[in-house]
Amino acid sequence: KEIEKDKVQEVIYSNSIRGLSELREIENSYMEHLNNYVRALQQKIKTLRIFINSITKEDQDLKVDRYKYVSNPLNCLGLVRRAHQDWPKLISYLRDQGNVMVSIEELSKLVHRTPNANDMEEALMGMDRIEHFYDLKSSDMAQGLVAGQQLGSRMPAPDCMALADYMYKRSEFGRAAEWYRLALSVLKKPQNRIEFQFNAPKREELENMFVKSRLQEGSVDNLSDYLKELSEDPETSLVPLRPRKSSTVIEQGCRGKFPPGPQLVCRYNSTSTPFVRIAPLKEEEISRDPLIWLYHDVIYDSEIAQLTNLTLEEMTLGITDNYTTPDRVSRLFHFKVTDDDGGKLDKTLVNRMADISGLDVGNTTSLARINYGLGGYFQEHSDYMDIKLHPELIEEGDRLMTFLFYITDVPVGGATVFPAAKLSIQPKKGSALFWYNLHNNGDPNPLTRHAVCPTIVGSRWVLVKSMLNYEQMFKKPCYK
Ligand SMILES: O=C(O)CCC(=O)C(=O)O
Ligand SMILES: [Fe+2]
């Protein structure tokens, strides 16, 4: 069973912050066992030193002249006894690995949980997205200055080089060159003189790759210019040798470049359902076409703590295949789906959605908890399937609306954007976004297509539920 499960689900850490937190725990274990190993070695070295000192403490002269040494009967006894007892014991002490071995075994066990090459690629993709979605300067990013925030950590040379290689492989030569040059400048800093033995990139290798990257887009005639660039301060951006790609609408949305929306209303809704008469809702109208509302403070911290209390093992890797994204299959996030009768909390939440919306939430769709990863991104997609393309939906109808609870704050990045409607919504812990995917006649409304911007800082968790059209037959008002 276990093995079967492993086969179906590849363990990838990078696609959720929850997964990455487990990887950090693995690293902590590595450190603990490495420290034990070092302590055991140190103990051994200490013992050996004592032994060496006990033999060498005798008069140097005596030691040099062996005849003189053995002319003393006390020395002779010691010599014979040591050769008879101590040296064989010492050899077996040297051979005995004891605690040292235990630590090595523990360390080797952890190696089985090493992230695979796909995971490494996911991490690089995430960093690449953060840089290009938000049009960041690579030198800022390497120094931990991301979207105006100082993150208090810097990228070491091997990380810069991994990112450079990734970009080179994807034929992004201009950006690759920037990162090779950054790796080189980090390497040159005095505090990095004692180079990390296993993984420090070689200077010549970085220089070669920089020039190679420039030549991919430039010309040998300008070789001297590229060599000059190599010695320049990496804060000065490289001259682009190819026209830069223009930004996509989604990227503009993620950068906060959508025009401010019309001033719609914020109100206390105390009329739409009997529930809100007792507990008025903080309701914000986001858009009239498509119809989108945002509700504030609709989920408690204690509920959120329960919802996010999941291990990586309990979650599944979400891939684009299950959604209406146009791109090739790619990994999205880790998620956990529970049925409506999944538990007390699920019921409470589903009932709350009914109370907020005044709709029949039915019992056919399920509740999904989603956690995004490093630079976690969800491509543009629709939540409707389009009944014309999916006749099997005839029983229940298409997904009429989507309820999206933001259950964590995302300090930087991670907005939900509706590119066609030019709307961008920043997650706020405790808020819920609610929209209609279909027109009154059941046709899909393409303005509801949406995407999720790469998360920069924070662990982005959402809770999602969609509601089916025909369940709403007697409840849903006809808008417009
Ligand atoms: O995470 C989000 O903001 C949106 C999630 C989403 O679009 C979905 O689950 O269909
Ligand atoms: Fe969606």
Residue 294 to residue 286: CA distance in whole angstroms: 7
Nearest to 413 by CA among 142, 134, 17, 154: 134
Residue 200: partners with Cβ closer than 8 Å, 6 or more residues away: 157, 158, 187
Q: Flag whether pLDDT at 273 surpasses 50.
A: yes
Instruction: Say if residue 92 is in the same domain as residue 161.
Output: no
What average pLDDT does the segment 374-396 reach?
90
Instruction: Say if residue 321 is in the same domain as residue 430.
Output: yes
In a domain, 465, yes or no: yes
* Cα 452 to middle of ligand 1, angstroms: 7
Residue 178: partners with Cβ closer than 8 Å, 6 or more residues away: 138, 139, 164, 234, 237, 238
pLDDT digits (tens, 9 = 90+) for 38-59: 999 999 999 999 988 888 776 5
Amino acid 479: pLDDT: 63
Q: What CATH number did the domain enclosing 224 receive?
A: 1.25.40.10
Q: Is 472 in the pocket of ligand 1 (CB under 6 A)?
A: no
**Shortest-distance atom of ligand 1 to CA 425:** 3
Report residue 3's pLDDT band, with 50, 70 and 90 as the boundaries. very low
Check: CB of residue 416 under 8 Å from CB of residue 434: no
* Cα 415 to middle of ligand 1, angstroms: 10
Amino acid 1: pLDDT: 40
Residue 185 to residue 203: CA distance in whole angstroms: 10
Instruction: Say if residue 53 is in the same domain as residue 190.
Output: no
pLDDT digits (tens, 9 = 90+) for 117-161: 999 999 999 999 999 999 999 999 999 998 888 988 889 899 999
In a domain, 242, yes or no: no
Residue 466 to residue 428: CA distance in whole angstroms: 20
- Picking from 68, 94, 111, the residue at the C-terminal end of a domain is 111
Instruction: Say if residue 319 is in the same domain as residue 223.
Output: no
Amino acid 451: pLDDT: 97
Amino acid in the structure at residue 236: T
Q: Flag whether pLDDT at 194 surpasses 60.
A: no
Residue 284 to residue 277: CA distance in whole angstroms: 17
Instruction: Say if residue 83 is in the same domain as residue 30.
Output: yes
Instruction: Say if residue 326 is in the same domain as residue 465.
Output: yes
Check: CB of residue 407 under 8 Å from CB of residue 431: no
In a domain, 46, yes or no: yes
Q: Is 404 in the pocket of ligand 1 (CB under 6 A)?
A: yes
In terms of Cβ atoms closer than 10 Å to its own Cβ (0-12, 13-18, 19+), residue 395 is exposed
Q: Which residue has the higher pLDDT, 380 or 440?
A: 380
What average pLDDT does the segment 292-318 reach?
94
- Token pair of 184, please? 């080189």
Angle between helical axes of 173-188 and 223-231 (0-180°, round to 10) = 40
Instruction: Write the DSSP assignment of 155-182 as a string of letters.
Output: --HHHHHHHHHHHHHTT-HHHHHHHHHH
Residue 363 to residue 301: CA distance in whole angstroms: 25
Report residue 5's pLDDT band, with 50, 70 and 90 as the boundaries. very low
Note down the domain range covering 386: 254-472
Residues near ligand 2 ion, CB 5 Å cutoff: 383
Instruction: Say if residue 321 is in the same domain as residue 434.
Output: yes
Amino acid 343: pLDDT: 81
Q: Is 460 in the pocket of ligand 1 (CB under 6 A)?
A: no
What is the distance, to the nearest Å, from the Cα of residue 44 to the centroid of all Cα atoms in its chain? 41
In the chain, % of residues over pLDDT 70: 92
pLDDT digits (tens, 9 = 90+) for 156-191: 899 999 999 999 999 999 999 999 999 999 988 766
Amino acid 260: pLDDT: 86
Instruction: Say if residue 268 is in the same domain as residue 209.
Output: no
Nearest to 249 by CA among 421, 402, 415: 421
Amino acid 35: pLDDT: 95
Least confident of 205-219, 238-252, 262-276, 433-447: 262-276
Q: Flag whether pLDDT at 292 surpasses 90.
A: yes
Instruction: Say if residue 374 is in the same domain as residue 304.
Output: yes
In a domain, 119, yes or no: no
In the chain, % of residues over pLDDT 90: 61
In a domain, 446, yes or no: yes
Instruction: Say if residue 282 is in the same domain as residue 401.
Output: yes
- Picking from 70, 94, 111, the residue at the C-terminal end of a domain is 111
In a domain, 42, yes or no: yes
Looking at residue 342, what DSSP letter applies? G
Least confident of 101-115, 314-328, 437-451: 314-328
Phi, psi (deg, nearest 5) at residue 181: -65, -35
Instruction: Produce one character per residue of 179-211: b if its CB has 16 or more CB atoms within 10 Å, e if not.
Output: bbbbbbbbbeeeeeeeeeeeebbeeeebbebbb
Instruction: Say if residue 190 is in the same domain as residue 286.
Output: no
Q: Is 438 in the pocket of ligand 1 (CB under 6 A)?
A: no
* Ligand 1 pocket mutation, candidates 16, 323, 404, 425, criterion most atoms within 8 A of CB: 404
In a domain, 21, yes or no: yes
Q: Flag whether pLDDT at 365 surpasses 80.
A: no
Residue 163 to residue 176: CA distance in whole angstroms: 8
How many domains does the chain divide into? 3
Check: CB of residue 423 under 8 Å from CB of residue 374: no
Amino acid 294: pLDDT: 95
- Picking from 111, 128, 150, the residue at the C-terminal end of a domain is 111
Residue 473 to residue 478: CA distance in whole angstroms: 10
Amino acid 198: pLDDT: 66
Residue 121 to residue 127: CA distance in whole angstroms: 10
Amino acid 341: pLDDT: 65
Continuous segment of H or E residues that includes residue 56? helix 17-56
Least confident of 64-73, 161-170, 285-294: 64-73
β-pairing, 316-319 vs 331-338, is antiparallel
Q: Which of 69-78, 351-360, 366-375, 464-473 has the highest mean pLDDT?
A: 366-375
Report residue 4's pLDDT band, with 50, 70 and 90 as the boundaries. very low
Instruction: Write the DSSP assignment of 398-416 as a string of letters.
Output: SEEEEEEEE-S--SEE--E
Report residue 271's pLDDT band, with 50, 70 and 90 as the boundaries. confident
Contacts from 264-272 at CB under 8 Å and sequence distance 24+?
A: 264/288, 272/358
Amino acid 191: pLDDT: 63
SS3 content of the chain, % helix, strand, coil (to 5): 45, 15, 35
pLDDT digits (tens, 9 = 90+) for 231-259: 999 999 999 999 988 999 999 999 999 99
Cα-atom radius of gyration of the chain, to the nearest Å?
A: 31
Average pLDDT, the chain: 88
**Shortest-distance atom of ligand 1 to CA 414:** 3
Instruction: Say if residue 151 is in the same domain as residue 227.
Output: yes
- Token pair of 431, please? 């808020």
* Cα 432 to middle of ligand 1, angstroms: 12
Amino acid 192: pLDDT: 58
In a domain, 360, yes or no: yes
